[in-house]
Amino acid sequence: MTPSVPLCVHATAPAKVILFGEHAINRGQPAVATAVGLYTRCELRVEGSHIFLTGGGKQSLFSREEVLSLTHQIEDLRKHEKYDDIRRIKLDNYFAPALYLLGYAFGDSLPQGLRIEWQSSIPASSGLGSGGAAFTALAAAVAPLLQAENDLLRRADWAHHGDIVAHGGIASALDTQTSLLGGVIGYSGKGLARSLLFSPGLDLVIAHTGVNAATAEVNRALKQREAENPRRFKTYFETIGELAHSAEPLLAQGNWQQLGHLLWLNQLVLEKAGVSCPEIEALVRVALDAGAYGAKLAGSGGGGIVIALVSPAVKEAVISALRKTCTEIYAPSIGVEGAKIEKIEEKR
């Protein structure tokens, strides 16, 4: 008997926040991140004669042949490290990362017709991993078509390939693996991340600076500064790695005072590396003055979000103080469950 083929798959994936390890993770250092309760939902239908994608206020139609051709083109550019060309493809085609994910995952078995739609509560270009969550949700939706529902390694690989293009040709799998696995993770850059123990009471307030900075551009500028002074930047990244390593027992113990101090030290190093900005630093000061244990930028920087580690006693005071400076504030659940396949409708 021919096995049933899913007609429609619904999947969700959460946002992420990097606690420690921005940029250093791409230089061989460890990182710590948590999934947070803001979500992207992806619906995938096997239908029609084209690949139709809609999300982020955009929609486009592609042929199966166009998707496979784009996939081969990006593979070749990656092989020859032509990252500027990959960035141009991403700028010209909003859906290029998702198309690459599809072509990479399916290969020659890519269906003739797919309809893919995303809905998201995660703000874009903010440091919350909106792209990573979108690709992780898409990978989850693809999985039943390729008999990979329980194969986390394959799903992690597919989602990461989407993020690679979104970030201009180079990206760690930190964002997508946090979204995939959920909870709090320790990530080394090798294989699947480790799930970390964390005590009840890990609570963050997230504030958006109002400045959106493209990760690919922040990464490009950082690489240029690093090339000009490699020894200094090596020290910065190694320091961030030490902070990530030191944070793990504090999370398990619930030592929020000391963990907050490490967050603040991480922020100081990121400022030295040049990926902070005045808007970030202003929000960090506001959060600390209002009683937060610690605060730092989260994500690639240049704008985006600030996270503040808070106790129940000061949480509302921190939110109130931040609200005087910015209007986009979140207080989601922390350490939430990872990506889920919520519903599969089948045709036989």
Mean pLDDT, to the nearest integer, of 187-216? 92
Look at phi and psi of residue 289 and say left if phi exceeds 0, alpha if psi is from -120 to 50, else beta: alpha
Q: Is the pLDDT of residue 1 over 60?
A: no
Q: Sort 60 into a burial class: Cβ within 10 Å, 0-12 / 13-18 / 19+.
A: middle
Of all residues in the chain, the percent with pLDDT exceeding 90 is: 87
Query: Could you tell me which CATH class the domain 5-196+335-347 is placed in?
Result: alpha beta
Kindly state the tokens that stand for 155.
């799903």
Residue range 230-254: average pLDDT?
A: 97
Backbone angles phi, psi at 303, to 5 degrees: 150, -145
Asked whether the predicted pLDDT for residue 288 surpasses 80, the reply is: yes
Considering the chain, tell me which residue range(s) the CATH 3.30.70.890 domain(s) occupy. 204-330
Per-residue pLDDT, averaged over 235-247, amounts to 97
Instruction: Give the separation between CA 270 and CA 225, rounded to whole angstroms.
Output: 13
What is the rounded distance in angstroms from the CA atom of residue 270 to the CA atom of residue 19? 12
Q: Which residues contact 246 (CB under 8 A, 6 or more apart)?
A: 262
Any idea which fold 204-330 has? Alpha-Beta Plaits (3.30.70)
CB 276 within 8 A of CB 295: no
**118: β partners:** 42
Query: pTM for this structure?
Result: 0.90
| pLDDT band with cut points at 50, 70 and 90 for residue 4 | low
The tally of CA atoms less than 13 A away on the side-chain side of residue 246 is 15
Q: Cα torsion for 147, 153, 159, 163, to the nearest 10°?
A: -160
What is the pLDDT averaged over residues 166-186? Answer: 94
How much is the average pLDDT of 271-298?
97
204 neighbors 33 (Cβ within 8 angstroms): no
Cβ neighbours for 247, distance < 8 A, ≥ 6 positions apart: 19, 20, 32, 259, 262
- Do the beta carbons of residue 260 and residue 268 sit within 8 Å? no
Half-sphere exposure of 46 (CA within 13 A, CB side): 21
Q: Is the pLDDT of residue 53 over 50?
A: yes
Domain with CATH 3.30.230.10 in the chain: 5-196+335-347
